[in-house]
Amino acid sequence: MFRLAQRIKFSGLAPSRSVRSLFTADKYPVKRGNYSELNAEDIKYFESFLNSKDLLTDKKDLDAVNVDWMQKYRGQSKLLLKPRSVSEVSKILKHCHDRKLAVVPQGGNTGLVGGSVPVFDEIVISLANLNKIRKFDDVSGTLTVDAGVILQTADEWLRERGYIFPLDLGAKGSCQIGGNVATNAGGLRLLRYGSLHGTVLGIEAVLPNGDIFNGLSTLRKDNTGLDLKQLFIGSEGSIGIITGVSVLCPPKSNSVNVAWLGLDSYEAVQKTFKLAKNALGEILSSFECVDRASMEVVDAALKKHDMEAQQPLESMHPYQILIETSGSNSEHDEQKLNAFLENSMENELVVDGVVAQDEGQIQALWQWREGISESSGKWGGVYKYDVSLPLPVMWDLVKAVENRLIERNLQSKTDSTKPVYATIGYGHIGDGNLHLNVCVREYTKEVEDVLEPFVFEFIAKHNGSVSAEHGVGFQKVHALQYSKDAGALKLIKEVKNMFDPHGIMNPYKFIE
């Protein structure tokens, strides 16, 4: 019944380094804050304690950190600092605080909302040189790392010791753990291991005034005062710079299974989700759904690059789901998975499917899912919406958006004069998180007017979130009102001001 999955390769699918070189400050109506300008004295001071190769002012070096991964936002920073210790971070921030110099902390710069690049001339503080694994306890599974450790590095290091990192996401090869925590990254394991608010046990951070917040506990339980570390999780560099993180890591599963299934309707997807929760219970670790348009976009993106890969299923079903189980006993897990698959086919929910037979096939199936994000930018650009919505209405949003674009004659796969190539939906059903991507040939005001505020209003109407896991950054700062009321926003602003009275931390973003 179930065929083998074929391995595909997505390497080389980075976004094309294109013409979108306009400065953020020229593209968007934003005014430089009342910050000091960097001068020779500042540089001299930084040189007094930083290694010369950790202080960079060359255009080439700055070009790389001024632009985000999507090449949508471009800042004009003149200075990149790469401290090698918490004390260096502290000295830098204290000086910037005293001098009122704006800064932007930068991890792997893999964010999707323009949160990690400057808007004007903010000093870029890279955490890349804080990259040591500090300690690990192999009974409790608590890991303590510098903020700049690459997620995949930590995960591989843990796997050799029988554990995994509780977070996994497409950018794992370049994103840094400090950045993951600062943006409260969600990713592919949240359904099973929960959010970072639960798994992060401790945080060390440098406050805007240079003080060091020493909250790097490795205790699972600690009820001694307000849990301030929680504020840093998802703070996007607005109240300090995370320099160290300790996290509770789950044991590596002895047995991992991945199935890719075809379904005819979104109703069947929802029913299958309920069935999976029941039948797979504690071993269900992912339940991802992609629509036909998503799979077509990956297919076309591969062809565009003269690559080809067999689709996981023979037919292009309207909805396809990836189910992953992770457990401690392969025999038990297979029994559970088989019972679930039989049940879902008997109930005519699932109409076709493959189960990965080895690690390579597991990765191949995951690449189909993870490749969507990269593929969707291949026609010139992509409007990305990362939303939380109640399960029943998730794909109503995708359809409503596509209908609006088609009605206004803005979308076509074949007619390259139309700005929109395709409207696709995919996401983490298990977390109530949908990614709506509008793949465009060019960014136009006409398309934007169709999308906004329509998308945000739809979300607000259903009490969803305008940012499920990508964060706010520069992109969503004006959309917060659709997910938070004025009182909550005021309170956030007050807390931000308390921590950062001069407003030097990652300005123009997160909170106005």
Residues 98-137 that bind a second copy (CB under 8 A): 137
Nearer to a second copy, 61 or 211 (CB): 211
Nearer to a second copy, 27 or 277 (CB): 277
Nearer to a second copy, 401 or 511 (CB): 511
Cα–chain-centroid distance for residue 5? 26
In the complex, the smallest distance separating the C-beta of residue 115 from a second copy, rounded to whole angstroms, is 10
Nearer to a second copy, 20 or 192 (CB): 192
Q: Which amino acid is at 225?
A: G
In the complex, the smallest distance separating the C-beta of residue 382 from a second copy, rounded to whole angstroms, is 19
Residue 386, token pair as written in the block: 């990362």
Residues 206-235 that bind a second copy (CB under 8 A): 207, 211-215, 217-228, 230-231, 233-235
Instruction: Tell me the H-state helices in 305-444.
Output: 330-346, 359-375, 394-407
Among 37, 132, 38, 124, which Cα is nearest to 82's? 124
In the complex, the smallest distance separating the C-beta of residue 418 from a second copy, rounded to whole angstroms, is 32
Nearer to a second copy, 64 or 491 (CB): 491
- x/- track of binding to a second copy for residues 476-495 (CB under 8 A): x---x--xxx-xxx-xx-xx
In the complex, the smallest distance separating the C-beta of residue 332 from a second copy, rounded to whole angstroms, is 4
- Check residue 81 for interaction with a second copy (CB under 8 A): no
Nearer to a second copy, 151 or 190 (CB): 190
Task: For the beta carbon of residue 400, count every other beta carbon within 10 angstroms.
Answer: 15
In the complex, the smallest distance separating the C-beta of residue 56 from a second copy, rounded to whole angstroms, is 30
Q: How many residues make contact with a second copy (CB under 8 A)?
A: 90
- Check residue 433 for interaction with a second copy (CB under 8 A): yes
Residue 35, phi then psi, degrees to nearest 5: -100, 160
Nearer to a second copy, 12 or 487 (CB): 487
**Element of type H or E holding 425:** strand 420-428
In the complex, the smallest distance separating the C-beta of residue 465 from a second copy, rounded to whole angstroms, is 4
- Check residue 140 for interaction with a second copy (CB under 8 A): yes
| Cα distance between residue 130 and residue 54, in whole Å | 12
Q: Which of 496, 500, 507, 509 binds a second copy (CB under 8 A)?
A: 496
Q: Which of 35, 266, 273, 385 binds a second copy (CB under 8 A)?
A: 273
| Cα distance between residue 481 and residue 456, in whole Å | 9
In sequence order, the β-bridge partners of residue 135 are 144
| Cα distance between residue 86 and residue 377, in whole Å | 37
Q: Which of 18, 37, 159, 251 binds a second copy (CB under 8 A)?
A: 251
Nearer to a second copy, 277 or 408 (CB): 277
Cα–chain-centroid distance for residue 141? 24
Contacting range for a second copy; rule: CB under 8 A; set: 43-51, 349-357, 409-417, 457-465: 457-465
| Cα distance between residue 301 and residue 413, in whole Å | 12
Q: Which of 132, 159, 197, 408 binds a second copy (CB under 8 A)?
A: 197
In the complex, the smallest distance separating the C-beta of residue 228 from a second copy, rounded to whole angstroms, is 6
Q: Are 217 and 135 in contact (CB under 8 A)?
A: no
- x/- track of binding to a second copy for residues 390-409 (CB under 8 A): xx------------------
| Cα distance between residue 101 and residue 404, in whole Å | 45
At a CB cut-off of 8 Å and minimum separation 6, what does 412 contact? 418, 420, 421
Residues 305-364 that bind a second copy (CB under 8 A): 326-329, 332, 335-336
Q: Which of 92, 283, 362, 364 binds a second copy (CB under 8 A)?
A: 283
Among 136, 133, 253, which Cα is nearest to 193's? 253
Q: Which of 77, 253, 286, 411 binds a second copy (CB under 8 A)?
A: 253
Pairing type for strands 123-126 and 80-81 reads parallel
| Cα distance between residue 382 and residue 70, in whole Å | 9
Residue 86, token pair as written in the block: 């918490």
The CA–CA distances, whole Å, from 493 to 2, 197, 287, 500 equal 53, 21, 36, 10
Residue bearing tokens 């009102």: 481
The CA–CA distances, whole Å, from 444 to 125, 232, 410 equal 33, 36, 10
Q: Which of 274, 303, 304, 461 binds a second copy (CB under 8 A)?
A: 274
In the complex, the smallest distance separating the C-beta of residue 299 from a second copy, rounded to whole angstroms, is 28
Q: Are 220 and 248 in contact (CB under 8 A)?
A: yes
- Check residue 277 for interaction with a second copy (CB under 8 A): yes
- Check residue 431 for interaction with a second copy (CB under 8 A): yes
- Check residue 507 for interaction with a second copy (CB under 8 A): no
- Check residue 300 for interaction with a second copy (CB under 8 A): no
Nearer to a second copy, 121 or 431 (CB): 431
Cα–chain-centroid distance for residue 284? 22
- Check residue 378 for interaction with a second copy (CB under 8 A): no
